[in-house]
């Protein structure tokens, strides 16, 4: 678990769509902070800083230290609204956190040793069922990622949530449900048949060319010569 990343923010008095548009015209991103039994606070943030964090792929599972006009508050993003056309952030919601507050987040999954997995080396395919794992944990114990080692796994092997070690205080939302994270699968019967048919057609095409040449040569040989006119 990394330390909370600091984000600079400014309080804003104007609310509603008009106020949000004005913030964007000023080159900043509108947002709101709520929770912890305090009144919601409308804020403005640095657009580039938020876009950079969103590009990490785990923005909404990261705890930030929000520096709001000199007052620092631990927060976690709860919602990001994107422009429907240009796909950049236009509004962010943050929730205040006490140090031991429990939060529900999606933690990304990283797979290790794909190159030495026996099943993958034999032509198997890693079928990822879940790229993120939902967990509930204290805000200061959110894992950066879950690492899954594929070493020794064969075609037909499956990886379930029960096989992933969880740090203290980190639990899946449904402990009794052993859901699948990924499997290593072989080629389907249709794929294998398609490849065999393609190889057979190529072989037949290669064999047909000499035969056609031979037939042409034979036909030329058997063609009678025209008699010369006397």
For the chain, domain boundaries: 5-97, 103-185
The span from the CA of 153 to the CA of 146, in Å, is 17
SS3 call for 56? coil
- pLDDT tens digits, 100-151: 788 999 999 999 999 999 999 999 999 999 999 999 998 888 888 999 999 9
The span from the CA of 188 to the CA of 129, in Å, is 17
DSSP-derived letter for residue 225 is P
The span from the CA of 109 to the CA of 168, in Å, is 18
Least confident residue range of 23-37, 112-126, 213-227: 213-227
- pLDDT tens digits, 71-88: 999 999 999 999 889 888
- Fold agreement between 5-97 and 103-185: no
Mean residue pLDDT across the chain: 83
SS3 call for 58? coil
Q: Which CATH superfamily is domain 5-97 in?
A: Ribosomal Protein L25; Chain P (2.40.240.10)
How high is the pLDDT of residue 209? 53
DSSP codes joined into one string, 72-118: EEEEEEEEEEE-TTT--EEEEEEEE--TT-EEEEEEEEEEE-GGG-H
The span from the CA of 163 to the CA of 93, in Å, is 34
How high is the pLDDT of residue 176? 84
How high is the pLDDT of residue 218? 45
- pLDDT tens digits, 32-51: 999 988 899 999 999 999 99
Least confident residue range of 55-64, 94-103, 148-157, 191-200: 191-200
CATH class held by domain 103-185: mainly beta
* 8 has pLDDT over 50: yes
**The total number of residues written for the chain in this structure:** 230
């Amino acid at each position: 678990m990394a330390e909370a990343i600091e984000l600079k923010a400014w309080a804003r008095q104007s609310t509603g769509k008009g106020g949000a548009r004005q913030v964007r015209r000023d080159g900043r991103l509108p947002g709101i902070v709520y929770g912890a039994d305090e009144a919601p606070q409308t804020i403005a943030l640095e657009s580039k800083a938020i876009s950079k964090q969103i590009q990490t792929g785990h923005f909404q599972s990261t705890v930030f230290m929000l520096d709001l006009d000199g007052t620092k508050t631990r927060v976690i993003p709860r919602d990001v609204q994107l422009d429907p056309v240009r796909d950049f952030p236009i509004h962010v919601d943050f929730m205040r956190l006490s140090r031991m507050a429990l939060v529900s987040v999606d933690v990304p999954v990283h797979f290790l040793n794909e190159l030495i997995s026996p099943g993958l080396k034999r032509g198997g395919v890693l079928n990822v069922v879940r790229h993120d794992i939902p967990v509930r944990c204290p805000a200061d114990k959110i894992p950066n990622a879950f690492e899954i080692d594929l070493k020794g796994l064969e075609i037909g092997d499956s990886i379930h949530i029960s096989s992933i070690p969880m740090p203290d205080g980190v639990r899946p939302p449904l402990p009794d449900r052993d859901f699948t994270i990924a499997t290593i699968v072989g080629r389907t019967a249709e794929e294998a048949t398609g490849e065999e048919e393609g190889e057979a057609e190529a072989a037949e095409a290669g064999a047909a060319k000499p035969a056609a040449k031979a037939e042409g040569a034979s036909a030329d040989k058997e063609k009678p010569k025209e008699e010369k006119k006397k």
